[in-house]
Amino acid sequence: MSSSQERVSRVIHHKDYYLRGGDMNVLIGNHLYRIHSFFFYRESLVWRQMLEASPDGGEHGSADAPSPFTLDDVKSEDFERFLWVIYNPQYSLYDAPAETWLSILNLAHRWSFCNIKDFAIRELEKLNIEPIEKIVAYHEYKINKTLLLPAYIAMCKREKPLSLAEGMSLGMETVLRLADARERARQQAAESGIRSPTFDDFEDAQMEDMVREVFGIPPRPMSPGRHSRNSSDVFNGVGGTAIPNGFGFNTQRANGETTSGLNAPHSATNKPLDTLHVSTSVTESPSTNGSTTKADGKKPQAPPKDEKPLSSEPNGASSQQAASGATDNKAGAGGKPNGAVP
């Protein structure tokens, strides 16, 4: 019996993923999987090309075809982990160690399952992974280096030097960049006056800027600047609170009324400042006994007996001026205005 015939004779259906209703057979080792081609065709460009380019007219790998897809370079355990993401019976609950997610990430990267790759990365970011292991994996699968900033910083601040095995796994380029960042940190410490610097003397923010520069990672995007409060801002009310509104500040008054800092009322008339006219006249208000009381609470002095009290006129003229004008218009002994009919 040939080796291929011997392998086929030992084939067993996978206990979890030989699914009823599956339309695609995959053989890994001596495990036969029956799964749904829909997910592979939809999510992966690699599998889409494999399914469309079947050598026997599209029947290769189908549920009824004698020749399934054979994956010689994939471990059965890794394929099980990958299928677990698609067929997980516990909806949205994916609790697994870093080893499992790295295995899933490997196949998702190889087969261009972009959504599963992003999902694996999100789950890995939740876990505590050794910096060297994380750097090696993220470099291999072409993951954004921004996610490696904490790992780079941890390696730069580590007192223990790299071992030969660690350096071989990281690669020469990464080792040289890490050494460059460490040397820059020491030089910066010496320039600041620290005689025997340790890496604990450096803040993570300083190390992050240095690591970004050494590894060519773009700087952190600046957050939108908030409008700063200055002396030109107007605040009314007691205990007003400034709230940025995009055009200045809102002032929260004690009575709950909110007014804009640029259009806040400057008087009880709620008129803009440039339209208000400042009056220097004395404000008077009638008292309860009929007399006139000034705004400062004092009563006005009575005029001399030979003088008549002044009265406010619309044009600002006093009553004496009005009386004198009327006298000038009188004619004859009758005291009638000129031209008046008696």
Q: What is the pLDDT of residues 125-149, one digit of tens each?
A: 999 999 999 999 999 999 999 999 9
Read off φ and ψ for residue 83, nearest 5 degrees.
Answer: -65, -25
Tokens encoding 117:
């790759």
Whether 213 and 149 have beta carbons less than 8 Å apart is answered as no
Tokens encoding 60:
């290769």
What are 193-214's pLDDT values in tens digits? 666 656 666 677 778 888 999 9
- Assess if residue 200 is contained within a domain: yes
What are 68-118's pLDDT values in tens digits? 999 999 999 999 999 999 999 888 899 999 999 999 999 999 999 999 999
- Assess if residue 254 is contained within a domain: no
- Assess if residue 250 is contained within a domain: no
- Number of domains into which the chain is organized: 1
Pick from 80, 23, 79, 31: nearest CA to 51: 23
- Assess if residue 338 is contained within a domain: no
pLDDT of 61: 60
The CA-CA-CA angle for residues 92, 95, 98, to 5°, reads 130
- Assess if residue 176 is contained within a domain: yes
Whether 113 and 46 have beta carbons less than 8 Å apart is answered as no
pLDDT of 184: 86
- Assess if residue 158 is contained within a domain: yes
pLDDT of 86: 95
Q: Which residues of the chain have pLDDT under 50?
A: 1-3, 6, 57-58, 225-295, 311-342
pLDDT of 197: 57
Whether 82 and 47 have beta carbons less than 8 Å apart is answered as no
User: According to the 3-state scheme, what is the secondary structure of the chain?
Assistant: CCHHHHHHHCCEEEEEEECCCCCEEEEECCEEEEECHHHHHHHEHHHHHHHHCCCCCCCCCECCCCCCEECCCCCHHHHHHHHHHHHCCCCCCCCCCHHHHHHHHHHHHHCCEHHHHHHHHHHHHCCCCCHHHHHHHHHHCCCCHHHHHHHHHHHHHCCCCCCHHHHHHHCHHHHHHHHHHHHHHHHHHHHCCCCCCCHHHCCHHHHHHHHHHHHCCCCCCCCCCCCCCCCCCCCCCCCCEEEECCCCEEEECCCCCEEECCCCCCCCCCCCHHHCCCCCCCCEEECCCCCEEECCCCCCCCCCCCCCCCCCCCCCCCHHHHHHHHHHCEECCCCEECCCCC
- Assess if residue 4 is contained within a domain: no
pLDDT of 284: 46
pLDDT of 212: 93
- Assess if residue 215 is contained within a domain: yes
Pairing of strands 330-331, 292-294: unpaired
Query: What residues form DSSP beta bridges with 331?
Result: 336
Give every CB contact of residue 113 below 8 A, 6+ residues apart in sequence: 43, 44, 107
Tracing tokens 């080796």 back to the chain, one arrives at 3
Range of the domain at 142: 129-219
Give every CB contact of residue 138 below 8 A, 6+ residues apart in sequence: 145, 147, 148
As a whole number of angstroms, the distance between CA 329 and CA 337 comes to 5
